[in-house]
Amino acid sequence: MRSTFHVFRIAVLLATGVISTAALAKAEDVADGVYFSARETPTVLAIRRASPAVVNLHGQKTVRTTAAGMAGATGPETFKHVNGMGTGVIIDPRGYVITNYHVVEDVEKIHVTLDDGREVTADLIAARVKNDLALVKINADEPLPTIPRGTSLDLMVGESVIAIGNAFGYVHTSTQGIISALHREVPVNEKQEYHDLIQTSAGINPGNSGGPLLNIDGEIIGINVAVRVGAQQIAFAIPIDQVIETVTEMVDQYNDSRLTTGVRTDGGPREGDGVTVVNVSASSPANGNGLKPGDRVVRVGSQQVEDRLDYVLALLEVAPGDQLAWEVERSGERMEVALQFDASLSHADQVAQTAWDVIGIRTQTVPEANMRRLNYRMKTKYMGGLYISDVRPGSPAAKQGIMSGDVLLGIHGWQTTSLTDLAGILEHPDMQNGPRTKFYLVRREQTLFGHMNLASQSSALRR
């Protein structure tokens, strides 16, 4: 109560002109022993809040040059080592860092300087070249500070922003500006595309790439990525919601390449959006252990889950064969489910397994030469097909009279010239509800068609 009265008293004195703002800058709350200074502006507090989670990245990369040392010159090629530098932000206390891909591209060993001056190394986990984003993991033995995360959903042109980065090698350089514009499209090259960028007047220099653009509350709202060459105070940042969504997707794909969970989830890019189970494979351990669509994932192992980024990062710590406890919320009650994680099948094996589980067929691509001979005999122009080598008894395919030796030409209006085609068909949203689908096949140089329901409703195979 005494502190509140003191602040109110200062406000009254200011209003009546008894005390000046200069005097307020030196005012001291004797009761609480707290010193208030006008020098501690919102900008100072924002930088102080975010800086511990900003890291400097550097390392050597090998570049190819000609004997003349310039693009387009003739002569034998040579290679030289160059020093690269950039910035990153820690998004998870286990040391996961978001940066630009071009910062770590071809770097032989990623060196990291933390805010406290310690030198550590990091490993590249996943990258998306097109979006110029990468995730690296710092090799550290203790939890690290994380960047406060804001949202790019409500940004305003004219609001104050702050950039922190390794500008020209000057570590933790801070600059201030405003949001100059939103939704900028910036073409770069065939490999990288920048869409819906934030334009800012904050000073961005070489070495700032991958660093944070902060709002005045010290929350990250973007990843600094580019400047307009030859211009002043024209720089760009990738909006943080776009960054989180892209990083989540690329980590999710990386997890899928090494783990089989049998679980599909959904959730938003902002903290607090949560993660909900939308599908559980009938043959997966998750289904056997009671996980159901609609369950809200609260914790994976020891990792609390607030959004899908938390979820996919938690799975990064899992190795094939591990068993992990999940905590889920169902109908307002929390329960724990133990899940076993198996090594992921290759994409081709996944497609083959899905075709066996859903349709009941094992297939292989018909060689191009065989299709040419078949088309010549039948006077047709089929692009290709899948040779059916086995049919599962009781499956939708078996109920339609599909047999080993048949060549599957198409399903639901789409051609099945390859396993990739089949994968696209089975994963298409139109196929998720078990529709009654038309299929075409060749048997003994005759084209046949029929209708099968992937929910096992049968119909006769007809000529």
Cα separation values, 441 from 8, 28, 86, Å: 84, 86, 56
CA angle 43, 40, 11 (to 5 degrees): 115
Closest CA to 123 of 149, 157, 94, 145: 94
Question: Would residue 310 show up in a list of annotated catalytic residues for this protein?
Answer: no
Q: What is the DSSP string of 119-140?
A: EEEEEEEEEETTTTEEEEEE--
**How many Å apart are CA 340 and CA 134, to the nearest integer?**
29
Contact 92, 313 (CB under 8 A): yes
Q: Which tokens in the block code for residue 84?
A: 């690269």
Cα 330 from Cα 244, distance rounded (Å):
27
* Contact (CB, 8 A) for 366 and 384: yes
From residue 95, alpha-carbon distances to 55, 83, 158, 313 in Å are: 11, 23, 33, 11
Q: Is 102 a catalytic residue?
A: yes
Closest Cα to residue 248, out of 305, 319, 169, 210?
Answer: 305
> Which residues make Cβ contacts (< 8 Å) with residue 453, sequence separation at least 6?
396, 434, 435, 436, 437, 459
Catalytic residue among 58, 92, 102, 406: 102
Residue 6 to residues 32, 33, 99, 143, 203, Cα–Cα distance (Å):
10, 12, 46, 39, 40
Annotated catalytic residue, options 152, 180, 209, 395:
209
196 belongs to the catalytic site: no
From 58, 92, 115, 132, the catalytic residue: 132
For residues 344 and 254, give the distance between their C-alpha atoms in angstroms, rounded to a whole number.
Answer: 10
Tell me the CA distances in angstroms from 223 to 58, 151, 226, 447, one per residue in order: 17, 12, 10, 56
> What are the start-end ranges of the E strands in 216-267?
220-227, 235-239, 259-260, 263-266
Q: Are 270 and 307 within 8 A, CB to CB?
A: yes
SS3 assignment, position 267 = coil
Which residues are designated catalytic? 102, 132, 209
